[in-house]
């Protein structure tokens, strides 16, 4: 089943609640407490029930005593409710207490109520808790909402040792541990919420829009942050990288240093072609007469002056870097000013996006598809390259599979984004500001304020990981680029790909935390994925 099919199946399982306008959700703070995510979780939004989120059994750790829900009615008529709570094990869990009455009318302003789940401490058990809320618009139309929770209760005192596992797992370092457990905790719920919400979002877009205008503050999830850009000042003219390295020379000088004569380059075959951009395979013969195979990025005669200088700027951004997982520019030929040649070392590599798409088209036959282990290994190579880049005080700002190359042994190199706008036009959008940006790879702060940081590269890495597991599907294919900011602000993210292990999806989801500070660092990602890789190899 492919993602789209899955998407439509999910659309089908939402239901309209009476004609009522009701919101019933977990607040930002509450979702944060359970999942560590900056988002609100709507069970009912404008009367539309998110059945899938509803059906998910949320685990409640022993430490958490109370659940909070927020609701609000916009209906003109009164909505009455009654609440009943079933508990599967009354020995382990005492009678839950509400701080609102068991029956009444849904308030017209957002109200938060609590349900306490007091463990008795008599036995250790996992207790199923079902909270049934009947909402009545008119005497004949009753809708029952059922929320299910699994509460862990622990026997008091002497048995505690054997249950340490509930709160702490053995780990390498403290921060990794926190990250790791947050990831595990977030895993499965997000998968369901995100995918279903996507469906609901689409359907309710119009309705929601008007509501959003009315209740702006209460509704939106994002809190503006100070982007952590301090030591990574943006260098505007370099379209894609921030360079503040003092030793960094001016573009002209760098080009001069790499310049070679055109006659030393031979073009063999076109590997990628856009409206004006071309990527060739060819060869370069140095002064000693040694020939080597190269990738050549260039433009045809139709390219404008701006496009040519952008090619040079972006192509030079990886200048003088030296890392096995980074494709560094080797030489430049600018004799013909209308068509400069940018040369890169060729090691039987292909563009990674193209490579993944080929894997996919092969899947109908017998041929190669990627194993989870291979995906994790590829991701780790990207992480190493990104760590190196950040150590050099460079930001990538356009990390995506289209800007990576890969060889047949699955060795990955990240590359600059020169020509990508032309070669992969579907990945870039102009949001009315004359700037063609990789909107669906951008972190929320990059999208809104054009600020970038190491954490925004982490966000893009999450999308890259999603591309690896979907064999380069287009992310958020159903979302209008102009809607992306609102969509992300509402807490929606990419859905879990089919066959993508929960562990891997949790890593991605964590990269997409609203707040830059809450995203993992590349070092944390490295530890996490290395652990996961080790686990995978255990079972092979």
Ligand X SMILES: *[C@@H]1O[C@H](CO)[C@@H](O)[C@H](O)[C@H]1NC(C)=O
* Token pair of 218 as six digits: 């209460």
Among 109, 140, 366, 538, binds ligand X (CB under 6 A): 140
Least distance to ligand X, CB of residue 117, Å: 14
By beta-carbon proximity to ligand X, the closer residue of 83 and 198 is 83
By beta-carbon proximity to ligand X, the closer residue of 55 and 141 is 141
76/58 Cα distance (integer angstroms): 32
Among 27, 62, 88, 134, binds ligand X (CB under 6 A): 134
Task: Tell which positions 95-124 bind ligand X, by CB under 6 A.
Answer: 99-100, 111-114
Q: Are strands 265-273 and 329-333 parallel, antiparallel or unpaired?
A: unpaired
Among 3, 6, 18, 123, binds ligand X (CB under 6 A): 18
Residue of 46, 286, 398, 416 with catalytic role:
398
Q: Does 130 bind ligand X (CB under 6 A)?
A: no
Among 144, 146, 226, 371, binds ligand X (CB under 6 A): 144
Give the binding-site size for ligand X (rule: CB under 6 A): 18
Q: Does 84 bind ligand X (CB under 6 A)?
A: yes
Task: Tell which positions 439-468 bind ligand X, by CB under 6 A.
Answer: none
Contacts of 437 (CB under 8 A, 6+ apart): 428, 429, 430, 431, 447
How far CA 467 is from CA of 310, 501, 526, in Å, comes to 26, 14, 18
Write out the DSSP string of 172-198: SSHHHHHHHHHHHHHHHHHHHHHHHHH
Q: Does 80 bind ligand X (CB under 6 A)?
A: no
Contacts 24+ apart (CB under 8 A), 401-404: 401/352, 401/353, 401/356, 401/464, 401/467, 401/468, 401/472, 402/351, 402/352, 402/353, 402/427, 404/351, 404/352, 404/353, 404/464
Contacts of 353 (CB under 8 A, 6+ apart): 400, 401, 402, 404, 424, 467, 472
By beta-carbon proximity to ligand X, the closer residue of 55 and 361 is 55
* Token pair of 19 as six digits: 């004609």
Write out the DSSP string of 89-152: -TTTB---EESS-SEEE--SS-EEEEEE--B-SSS-EEEEEEEEEEEEEETTEEEEEEEEEEEE
Least distance to ligand X, CB of residue 204, Å: 16
Least distance to ligand X, CB of residue 137, Å: 6
Is-catalytic flag, 416? Answer: no
Binding window for ligand X (CB under 6 A); candidates: 133-141, 179-187, 209-217, 232-240: 133-141
Q: Does 16 bind ligand X (CB under 6 A)?
A: yes
Q: Does 82 bind ligand X (CB under 6 A)?
A: yes
Least distance to ligand X, CB of residue 112, Å: 5
Contacts of 207 (CB under 8 A, 6+ apart): 46
Among 91, 122, 138, 169, binds ligand X (CB under 6 A): 138
CA neighbours within 13 Å on the CB side: how many for 54? 18
Least distance to ligand X, CB of residue 515, Å: 23
Q: What angle do helix axes 174-214 and 28-35 make, rounded to 10 degrees?
A: 160
Least distance to ligand X, CB of residue 381, Å: 48
The residue whose Cβ lies closest to ligand X is 84
Least distance to ligand X, CB of residue 103, Å: 7
* Token pair of 35 as six digits: 């999942």
Tell me how many degrees the CA angle 283-284-287 measures, rounded to the nearest 5: 155
Q: Are strands 58-60 and 141-153 parallel, antiparallel or unpaired?
A: parallel
Q: Look-up: residue for tokens 């989870």? A: 372
Among 6, 142, 220, 271, binds ligand X (CB under 6 A): 142
Among 64, 88, 128, 132, binds ligand X (CB under 6 A): 132
Binding window for ligand X (CB under 6 A); candidates: 6-14, 141-149, 202-210, 469-477: 141-149
x/- letters, 192..231, toward ligand X (CB under 6 A): ----------------------------------------
Active site residues: 398
Residues that bind ligand X in the complex, under the rule CB under 6 A: 16, 18, 82-84, 99-100, 111-114, 132, 134, 138, 140-142, 144
């Amino acid at each position: 089943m492919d993602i789209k099919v899955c998407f439509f199946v999910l659309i089908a399982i939402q239901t309209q609640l009476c004609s009522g306008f009701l919101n019933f959700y977990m607040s930002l703070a509450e979702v944060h407490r359970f999942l560590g995510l900056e988002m609100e979780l709507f069970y009912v939004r404008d009367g539309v029930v998110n059945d899938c989120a509803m059906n998910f059994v949320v685990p409640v750790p022993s430490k958490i005593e109370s659940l909070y829900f927020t609701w609000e009615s916009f209906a003109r008529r009164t909505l009455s409710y009654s609440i009943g709570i079933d508990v599967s094990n009354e020995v382990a869990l005492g009678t839950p207490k509400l701080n609102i009455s068991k029956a009444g009318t849904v308030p017209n302003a957002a109200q938060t109520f609590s349900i306490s789940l007091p463990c008795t401490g008599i036995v250790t058990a996992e207790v199923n808790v079902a909270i049934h809320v009947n909402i009545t618009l008119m005497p004949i139309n009753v809708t029952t909402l059922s929320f299910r929770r699994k509460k862990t209760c622990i026997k008091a005192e002497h048995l505690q040792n054997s249950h340490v596992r509930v709160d702490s797992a053995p780990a390498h370092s403290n921060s990794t541990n926190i990250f790791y457990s947050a990831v595990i905790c977030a895993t499965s719920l997000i998968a369901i919420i995100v995918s279903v919400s996507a469906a609901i979002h689409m359907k309710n877009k119009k309705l929601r829009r008007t509501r959003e205008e009315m209740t702006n503050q209460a509704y939106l999830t994002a809190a503006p942050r100070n982007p952590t850009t301090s030591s990574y000042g943006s260098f505007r003219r370099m379209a894609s990288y921030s360079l503040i390295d003092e030793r960094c020379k001016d573009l002209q000088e760098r080009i001069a240093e790499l310049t070679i004569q055109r006659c030393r380059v031979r073009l063999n075959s076109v590997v990628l072609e856009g409206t004006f951009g071309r990527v060739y395979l060819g060869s370069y013969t140095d002064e000693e007469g040694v020939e080597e195979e190269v990738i050549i990025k260039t433009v045809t005669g139709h390219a404008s002056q701006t496009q040519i200088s952008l090619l040079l700027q972006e192509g030079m951004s990886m200048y003088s870097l030296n890392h096995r997982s980074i494709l560094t520019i080797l030489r430049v030929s600018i004799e013909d000013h209308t068509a400069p040649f940018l040369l890169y070392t060729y090691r039987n590599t292909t563009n990674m996006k193209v490579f993944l798409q080929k894997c996919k088209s092969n899947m109908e036959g017998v041929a190669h598809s990627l194993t989870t282990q291979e995906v994790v290994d590829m991701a780790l190579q990207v992480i190493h390259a990104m760590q190196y880049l950040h150590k050099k005080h460079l930001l990538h700002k356009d990390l995506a599979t289209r800007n990576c190359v890969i060889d047949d042994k699955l060795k990955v190199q990240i590359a600059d984004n020169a020509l990508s706008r032309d070669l992969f036009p579907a990945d870039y959008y102009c949001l009315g500001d004359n700037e063609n940006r990789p909107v669906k790879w951008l972190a929320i702060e990059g999208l809104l304020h054009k600020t970038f940081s190491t954490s925004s590269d982490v966000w893009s890495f999450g999308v890259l990981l999603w591309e690896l597991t979907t064999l380069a599907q287009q992310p958020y294919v159903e979302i209008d680029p102009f809607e992306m900011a609102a969509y992300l602000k509402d807490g929606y993210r990419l859905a879990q790909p089919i066959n993508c292990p929960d562990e891997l999806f949790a890593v991605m989801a964590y990269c997409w935390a609203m707040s830059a500070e809450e995203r993992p660092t590349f070092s944390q990602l490295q530890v996490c994925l290395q652990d996961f890789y080790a686990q995978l190899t255990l079972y092979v």
